[in-house]
């Protein structure tokens, strides 16, 4: 098993007819993901390398039985596209788009939370990869193989770095989930860690956080109460100056909140081992996996 | 984007946030002219994006033209926590009966706007929250429902505002919330919110942060950013479309992806070094962007060594290597470079670099190893 995406995924891509959208969607299909539809208003009845394009998500669901959406449209259209996918009954929505206004993300989050059957991952994320099964997004799948380590991260490249070091030690992944670097992500560490805890294939969870917000502290509380599997942590941005946004819109220490050391302390207080470098994270995970 | 006080006030005025008459000035003469228009007594305030302006002597009251001249002369050019004062805000002095605090902030944890009101204004709100939590009334607003008059009444009564000003304080909260939503702000903070003896409620100060991602909806707001205070390397990076933050150290950093670059800074610090910058070239960086990055990194005179730390996903390592070789040809750096490339096309990248035989470029296989090497080189050790 895996979480969020897998052999049952039937993917509809919003933005399939764009340059980036088509490049990555076709890459995903080449990996084995079942890409069943594109959604671009006004381009219905066209196709992109054999993938049929529909005017609306409702048509993509009705005609192609899509159950997962990937959002690849520019920021000003992204919130609308996410809401359209939810309205059409799509259960898993993965938003890659970077640069969506925070107020749009607030609105989307508060609309989606009324629907217990829908899950949004991202935005501003690299997507979700279940090695050997399906890849939805821009994660370079070649570095990863099937295995029992679940990874959840606010950063793409940092995930690849840690995942690659695990792979070099011979360990693969159940699923790799990028939750994104924005202030109001659709899914939090808590949401994804809960899915890994329930996933029989996942034996160890790696969570890679960073400065800004309090999602890591909330994860620590959740882990203490609900997680039986070992969790290894990492926090990026310990040396970042306060008040400065470090690349990701959400990576900022504001006043007394969002600092890296407090996150490490919160995780270690509940027994999560936190590596000080990505290499240490992989080493700790390998040590636990080898028992 | 954090706005200077007076620019924040301009934005808030569009939504009916009541203020006192005032004017900005960048010279002593302009300050005097503004004061003649506004009248006395008048408050002269340094415009910098920093707290502690009052303590630093950046906020003063003048009762005459001579005093305006004297205070404006001393405040302009003053350094407040590393920020040079280049602009002043002059505002009619107000009679103050009470100082309150009001704010709307995007609460990331609750995924909702948080509205706050306190009768303990004029001091740091963190201090109020810690010492007198009962004096701070707070309320999360469902963004789909919006802020309604009953919300304002609840906050006003819970905070214990004077009975005579419940209504104008409520109107003020509604105006602040309106500005927060309509302008795509992530923070609007009024401290102090002043009640005058004739029960007027006015914003005496303003701290406004706008969402950079929403500027496309507010093209006029793009010009509100204060360029005067920007560091030269940061301005240069911005022109070239790079995500760059200047830091205090001497090791230049190039990387891809915000998380990996933050991690690179930490690993360099862990190895005993001090990074000179954060630079994220982004996904899929091409040779041109890499040349521009090297140019920005080297334009910081503090830089004694540079670390390239790349994990190629969308970014191809061979493209990074070509960019670095090209940058060497154009810029002919004199400081050592340490390069660690992993991921997409890394083998090709390493052979490109090996063939190029660039002077003083050191390849390392791991992130930790590369950090240790660059720290040694920055110290003048052979590595």
Tell me the per-residue pLDDT of A167-176, one tens digit each, with 9 for 90 and over.
Answer: 999 999 999 9
Enumerate residue ranges in chain A where pLDDT < 70. none
* pLDDT > 70: percent of chain B: 98
Tokens of residue A42, six digits:
């006004």
CA torsion, points B137, B142, B143, B149, in degrees to nearest 10?
A: -60
Pick the CATH number of B232-378 from 2.40.110.20, 3.90.180.10, 3.40.50.261, 3.40.50.2300: 3.40.50.261
Domain with CATH 3.40.50.261 in chain B: 232-378
Q: Which residues of chain A neighbour B181 with C-beta distances below 8 Å?
A: 103
The partner residues of B342 in beta bridges, in order of sequence, read B311
In angstroms, the separation between the Cα of residue A251 and the nearest Cα of chain B is 9
Which of the four pLDDT bands, split at 50, 70 and 90, describes residue B34? very high
> With the C-alpha atoms ordered B11, B12, B15, B20, is the resulting torsion angle positive or negative?
negative
Mean pLDDT of B83-107: 94
Domain with CATH 3.30.1490.20 in chain B: 21-92
pLDDT of B284 over the 80 cut? no
- Separation between Cα atoms, residue B234 and residue A231, nearest integer Å: 38
Compute CA B57 distance to the chain's CA centroid, rounded to the nearest angstrom: 22
Residue of chain B nearest A237, judged by CA positions: B262
pLDDT of B143 over the 60 cut? yes
Enumerate domains of chain A plus CATH numbers: 11-121 (3.40.50.720), 144-289 (3.40.50.261)
Which of the four pLDDT bands, split at 50, 70 and 90, describes residue B229? low
Q: What is the CATH number of domain B98-224?
A: 3.30.470.20
Contact between A144 and A159 under an 8 Å Cβ cutoff? The reply is: no
Nearest to A140 among B186, B275, B313 (CB): B313
- Separation between Cα atoms, residue B168 and residue B174, nearest integer Å: 10
In angstroms, the separation between the Cα of residue B242 and the nearest Cα of chain A is 10
Q: Output the pLDDT for position A3.
A: 97
Which residues, numbered 89 to 118 in chain B, qualify as contacts with chain A under a Cβ-Cβ cut-off of 8 Å? 106, 108-109, 111-113
Please answer yes or no on whether B142 and A143 come within 8 Å at the CB atom: no
Residue of chain B nearest A218, judged by CA positions: B109
Residues of B known to be catalytic? 101, 189
Residue of chain B nearest A155, judged by CA positions: B259
The partner residues of A35 in beta bridges, in order of sequence, read A11
Q: Does A248 participate in catalysis according to the annotation?
A: yes
Architecture of domain B21-92: 2-Layer Sandwich (3.30)
- Separation between Cα atoms, residue B201 and residue B175, nearest integer Å: 12
- Count A/B contacts: CB-CB distance under 8 Å: 167
Backbone angles phi, psi at A219, to 5 degrees: -65, -40
pLDDT of B383 over the 60 cut? no
pLDDT of B230 over the 80 cut? no
pLDDT of B370 over the 90 cut? yes
CB of A101 within 8 Å of a chain B CB? The answer is yes
Q: Which residues of chain A neighbour B344 with C-beta distances below 8 Å?
A: 140, 142
- Separation between Cα atoms, residue A176 and residue A208, nearest integer Å: 11
Contact between B82 and A244 under an 8 Å Cβ cutoff? The reply is: no
**Helix ranges (DSSP H) in A127-199:** 156-168, 189-198
Closest among B327, B309, B317 to B351, alpha carbons compared: B317
**Across chain B, what does the average pLDDT equal?**
93
Per-residue pLDDT tens for B288-341?
A: 899 999 999 999 999 999 999 999 888 889 999 999 999 999 999 999 999 999
Tokens of residue B324, six digits:
């670095």
Q: What angle do CA A133, A134, A136 make, to 5 degrees?
A: 165
DSSP state, B148?
A: -
DSSP state, B2?
A: B
DSSP state, A239?
A: T
pLDDT of B96 over the 70 cut? yes
DSSP H or E run through A149: strand A146-153
């Amino acid at each position: 098993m895996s979480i969020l995406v897998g052999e049952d995924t039937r993917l509809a891509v919003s933005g399939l007819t764009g340059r980036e959208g088509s490049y990555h969607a076709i890459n995903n299909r080449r990996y084995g993901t079942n890409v069943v539809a594109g959604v671009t208003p006004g381009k219905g009845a066209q196709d992109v390398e054999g993938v049929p394009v529909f005017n609306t998500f409702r048509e993509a669901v009705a005609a192609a039985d899509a159950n997962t959406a990937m959002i690849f449209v520019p920021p000003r259209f992204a919130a609308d596209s996410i809401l359209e996918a939810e309205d059409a009954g799509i259960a898993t929505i993965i938003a890659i788009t970077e640069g969506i206004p925070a107020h749009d993300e607030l609105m989307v989050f508060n609309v989606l939370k009324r629907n217990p059957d829908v899950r949004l991952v991202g935005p501003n994320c690299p997507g979700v990869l279940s090695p050997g099964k399906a890849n939805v997004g821009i994660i370079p799948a070649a570095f990863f193989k099937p295995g029992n380590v679940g990874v959840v991260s606010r950063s793409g490249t940092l995930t690849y770095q840690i995942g690659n070091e695990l792979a070099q030690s011979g360990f693969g992944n159940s699923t790799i989930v990028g939750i994104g670097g924005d202030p109001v992500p659709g899914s939090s560490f808590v949401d994804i860690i809960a899915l890994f805890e329930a996933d029989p294939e996942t034996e160890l969870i790696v969570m890679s956080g960073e400065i800004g917000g309090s999602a890591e502290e909330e994860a620590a509380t959740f882990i203490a109460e609900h997680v039986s599997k070992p969790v290894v942590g990492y926090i990026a941005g310990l040396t970042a100056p306060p008040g400065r946004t470090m690349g990701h819109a959400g990576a900022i220490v504001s006043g007394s909140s969002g600092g890296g050391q407090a996150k490490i302390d919160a995780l270690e207080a509940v027994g999560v081992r936190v590596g000080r470098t990505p290499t240490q994270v992989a080493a700790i995970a390998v040590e636990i996996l080898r028992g | 984007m954090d706005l200077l006080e007076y620019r924040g006030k301009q934005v808030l005025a569009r939504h009916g946030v009541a203020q006192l008459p005032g004017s900005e000035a960048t010279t002593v003469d302009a300050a005097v002219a503004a004061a003649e228009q506004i009248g006395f007594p008048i408050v002269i305030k340094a415009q910098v994006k920093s707290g502690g302006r009052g303590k630093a002597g950046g906020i003063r009251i003048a009762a005459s033209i001579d005093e305006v001249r004297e205070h404006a002369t001393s405040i302009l050019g003053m350094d407040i926590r590393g920020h040079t004062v280049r602009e002043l805000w002059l505002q009619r002095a107000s009679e103050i009966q009470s100082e309150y605090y009001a704010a709307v902030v995007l609460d990331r944890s609750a995924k909702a706007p948080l509205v706050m009101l306190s009768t303990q204004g004029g001091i740091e709100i963190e201090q109020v929250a810690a010492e007198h939590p009962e004096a701070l009334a707070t309320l999360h607003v469902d963004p789909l429902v919006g802020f309604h008059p009953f919300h304002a009444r609840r906050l006003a009564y819970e905070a214990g505002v004077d009975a005579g000003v419940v209504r104008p304080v409520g109107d003020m909260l509604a105006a602040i919330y309106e500005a927060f939503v309509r302008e795509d702000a992530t923070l609007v903070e009024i401290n102090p919110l002043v009640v005058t003896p004739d029960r007027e409620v006015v914003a005496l100060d303003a701290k406004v942060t706008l969402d950079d991602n929403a500027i496309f909806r507010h093209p006029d707001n793009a010009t509100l950013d204060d360029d005067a205070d920007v560091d030269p390397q940061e301005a240069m990076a911005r022109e070239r479309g790079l995500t760059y933050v200047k830091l205090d150290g001497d090791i230049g950093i190039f990387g891809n992806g915000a998380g990996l670059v933050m991690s690179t800074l930490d690993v360099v610090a862990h190895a005993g070094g001090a990074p000179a910058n954060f630079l994220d070239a982004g996904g899929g960086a091409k040779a041109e962007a890499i040349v521009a990055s090297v140019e920005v990194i080297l334009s910081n005179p503090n830089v004694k060594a540079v670390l390239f730390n790349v994990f190629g996903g969308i970014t191809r390592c061979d493209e990074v290597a070509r960019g670095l070789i090209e940058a060497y040809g154009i810029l002919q750096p004199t400081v050592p470079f340490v390069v660690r490339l992993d991921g997409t096309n890394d083998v090709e990248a390493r052979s490109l670099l090996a063939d190029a035989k660039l002077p003083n470029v050191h390849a390392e296989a791991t992130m930790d190893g590369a950090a240790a090497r660059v720290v040694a080189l920055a110290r003048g050790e052979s590595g």
